Structure 1
Amino acid sequence: MDKSTEQESKEQDFGEKPTSVRESDHYQDEYVPGFVDKWDELIDWESRAKGEGNTIINILKERGVKKVLDVATGTGFNSVRLLQAGFEVVSADGSPEMLVKAFENARQYGYLMRTVQADWRWMNKDIHEEFDAILCLGNSFTHLFNERDRRKALAEFYALLKHDGVLLLDQRNYDSILDQGYSSKHAHYYCGDSVSVYPEHVDEGLARFRYEFLDNSVYYLNMFPLRKDYTRRLLHEVGFQEIKTLGDFKETYKENEPDFFLHVAEKEYKEDEEM
């Protein structure tokens, strides 16, 4: 079996006790080629663009952003939208399979995507530029299970931003999942009608999601269920000065209603007006 055939036939492996797999590095074994090939069925680019609207693009334009680092590119949805809107974009991901798919998708839209395979915890080793904005979207930050890893990644993002830069980081509403049980409108992120998505196991240290497609193929992702206020606290402690959190892209919401939260974290230092 040659290497390419071996890669195509690779299957997810969570061992005998899947709910005990709680390592930050395991995501690379979860995004196997078969799952990556189906990822766009889950996203449904057209429906997601409609649900998201221009919120992210407007947030960036309001701040005069020109250069963006998309650190969780996935199959390229956000990077392509940013390119279409005229931003200069560097697209990074820890999964080589995702980057290959993203590059192919961008070419179909007429763009030559600039890609970098990089681990968030050592971003500055692979990327030697500064950015007006960094995007970490698609619930990707929840792949980090260790608080030290989360703090290290946020510190790397902070260092790659210009003095007045902004970080946009999103997450599922794990507070609602942990406290109220799972429900989803599938209106903003995972919009594909042909995919069944739900958490097969949830505790304070793990949310194990099951993804079942029309051809009966099944894949899983093990993620850390970040609580909203915990994420905000980490952002503050790493150095971000002001943080605004949107619920399903809205500023006003009831805590248990949104499927997703979007944290808009400002790096710019603002002196106390009373000083």
Structure 2
Amino acid sequence: MSVRNLQMDPQSGEHTLRSADYRDRLVDWESRAASGGDFLERLLHRQDVRSVADVACGTGVTALGLARSGLTVTAADGSPHMVAKTREAADEQGVALADARVADWMRLDRDLGANRFDAVVCLGDAFSHLFESEARRDAVEAFYRTVRPGGLLILDHRNYDALLESGTGSRPYQSGQDVEAWPTALNRYLTRFEYRFRDGARFQRSMYPLRQDYVSHLLEDAGFVDVERFGDFQRPYNRLAARLIQQVGRKPRG
């Protein structure tokens, strides 16, 4: 994610180095893998993808998994700390990445290269950290310029439609195995969660509530075509029952 567009809150500790160490516990990667199976790998291999840029790599869980599946993977993040964590994990696990580097979403094609990748993936609800509509537009347009003609953008986000329309704010919203999350603010402009860990740590994270139709239109406005949606890696899906929404768009070949 692009550092310059993150909301930094010294009172809540959002996105500090310490909270970055809890990132894999905020996103329950084991649960995501169990529910999604090899959805991402199957999708990429089915589309004959060879090179991938994971532009919200975090600590490298997705990037390393894709590299192990035989893809050429560049891991990128707006946080130097996250990139360092990814490099450390790659070294420890003996996984070769094409590159791991800091990159700004707004200038992704300049940081990573224009028309370079068969696919750009932006996972873990990272895109919801952009609060300005112009920033979201500019980021998706930069994603578009980074993908080769015929290539894919795969972006996932929390199902904010369900949160806003079903009134789930009064009960815990479970995330990882050792963390519970409560919405402390929930409206059309802001969703803020407080994460409470079993070890006593607490963090707050603020996200922009991305509506499903809005994201699809954002991809289309940038030039992506044949935009498809999945709910919890399935299609068809219940619009208000899925926890996560995956959106897939293709850059035209010519």
**When the two structures are superposed, what TM-score results if normalisation uses the length of structure 1?**
0.83
Deviation, 1:103, is 1.7
Q: Does the aligned pair in 2 maintain the 1:245–1:262 contact within 8 Å?
A: yes
Deviation, 1:184, is 8.2
Partners of 1:127 and 1:161 lie apart in 2 by 10
1:172 to 158, 162, 179: 158
Could you tell me which residue of structure 2 aligns to residue 36 of structure 1? Answer: 20
Query: What are the residue-to-residue correspondences of 1:206-245 with 2, within 5 Å?
Result: 206-245=190-229
Q: Does the aligned pair in 2 maintain the 1:132–1:161 contact within 8 Å?
A: yes
Query: What are the residue-to-residue correspondences of 1:1-275 with 2, within 5 Å?
Result: 24-26=5-7, 30-113=14-97, 114-128=99-113, 130-182=116-168, 190=175, 192-269=176-253
The residue type equivalent to 1:157 in the other structure is F
Deviation, 1:247, is 0.3
Partners of 2:121 and 2:172 lie apart in 1 by 23
Deviation, 1:123, is 1.1
Question: Cα gap change, 1:27/1:235 in structure 2, threshold over 3 Å: closer, same or farther?
Answer: farther
Quote the sequence identity (%): 36
Paired positions, count: 244
The residue type equivalent to 1:76 in the other structure is G
Partners of 1:125 and 1:27 lie apart in 2 by 25
Unaligned runs of 5+ in 1: 1-22, 271-275
Deviation, 1:213, is 0.9
Between 177-186 and 206-215, report the one with greater CA deviation. Answer: 177-186
Unaligned runs of 5+ in 2: none
Q: Secondary structure at the match of 2:220?
A: helix
Partners of 1:172 and 1:228 lie apart in 2 by 9
Partners of 1:213 and 1:220 lie apart in 2 by 12
Q: Secondary structure at the match of 1:26?
A: coil
Partners of 2:109 and 2:94 lie apart in 1 by 29
Deviation, 1:212, is 1.1
- Structure 1, residues 26-72: CA drift from partner, whole Å, max 9, x if none? 25972212111122233344443222211111110111000000000
Partners of 1:28 and 1:156 lie apart in 2 by 27
**When the two structures are superposed, what TM-score results if normalisation uses the length of structure 2?**
0.90
Question: Cα gap change, 1:45/1:66 in structure 2, threshold over 3 Å: closer, same or farther?
Answer: same
Question: Cα gap change, 1:185/1:246 in structure 2, threshold over 3 Å: closer, same or farther?
Answer: farther
Q: Does the aligned pair in 1 maintain the 2:67–2:96 contact within 8 Å?
A: no
Deviation, 1:87, is 0.3
Partners of 1:28 and 1:135 lie apart in 2 by 27
Q: Does the aligned pair in 2 maintain the 1:202–1:208 contact within 8 Å?
A: yes
Could you tell me which residue of structure 2 aligns to residue 4 of structure 1? Answer: none
Q: Which protein has the larger Cα radius of gyration, Structure 1 or Structure 2?
A: 1
- Structure 1, residues 114-172: CA drift from partner, whole Å, max 9, x if none? 21111101112311250000000000111111111111101111001111000000111
